[in-house]
Structure 1
């Protein structure tokens, strides 16, 4: 069992701090609903470019990946997370649960067993675990009500997002 993953985005320095190191960020753009991040995934065997919107009010980090010469398995990946801002730094506390979305087709919740194991190990408290489950199920149900179209679901929340044209290295 791994500890809760906490990432930091230092927008002043254009740095993404992860559990595997510090990566330069191509684009940080703040918007009314959170923060947009775009960066290459240098040295990754599958992923060439990563984009994400940190959406604190929804409790998710909404991601899109560009792969090296291949088609994605899914269109969107969501991390259920507690997202906070402190000045120029944004933190993302990933609470294990993820959702994958095939736009207009289906969605699924992933890593429930990881969240349960983390709860048993005391890595997350009961309040956080219940919040993560509620968020994942609410999002899954709302996506279903919008025929699994992420943009339509976000529109219903009053959110419009823009993505960046990937710069593949």
Structure 2
């Protein structure tokens, strides 16, 4: 399936304002917590057909945003990893999405998604050749690490001395 090219998505997290700015608008955030390796974010998804709540760890050293979703229905996956450039200026964290995503079914498998978006964006000039290759290298490193950890995300991250903490889904309701 060939996708229409779209510009790089840039999101901002304004910690002091407790607001997540996306390409579709501004969303209130109920939890921001700085960690030794980045920023933890948790917010509700209002009026979304599939997702009730979202939690994420922004990890600049890995160029990854590690997401967990609380779905209205059956769980579609355990983790969703966005390949991204993550920067910080004061209380504002910026995430520049590099198109590729990893979908992790903990202990079973992981897959790369949106390669077609990456290629379309490169062809349209939204990414440089260097950025495209870097995105592929980041995704490949993560996928290889997950494979060595038998697709158990916490095990892969623990080998890198990263220990993620999540909010209890029941407490978020």
Considering the TM-score relative to the shorter chain, is it more than 0.5?
A: yes
1:57 alignment partner, SS class? helix
Aligned to 1:41: 45
Equivalent runs, 1:65-104 vs 2, <5 Å = 65-68=69-72, 70-104=73-107
Q: Does 1:8 align with 2:12?
A: yes
Equivalent runs, 1:15-164 vs 2, <5 Å = 15-68=19-72, 70-164=73-167
Distance 1:65 1:3 in 2: 25
Q: Give the total of aligned pairs.
A: 167
Structure showing the higher helix proportion among its residues: 2
Distance 1:71 1:58 in 2: 29
Distance 2:46 2:60 in 1: 27
Shift of 1:53: 0.2
Q: Aligned-residue CA RMSD in angstroms?
A: 0.7
TM-score by length of structure 1 reads: 0.97
Deviations 1:102-160 (A, max 9, x none): 00000000011110110110001111111000000111011000000000000011101
Shift of 1:165: 2.0
The list of structure 1 runs, each at least 4 consecutive aligned residues, that deviate by more than 3 angstroms after superposition, is none
Flag structure 1 segments of 5+ consecutive residues without an equivalent.
none
Distance 1:164 1:127 in 2: 37
Flag structure 2 segments of 5+ consecutive residues without an equivalent.
none
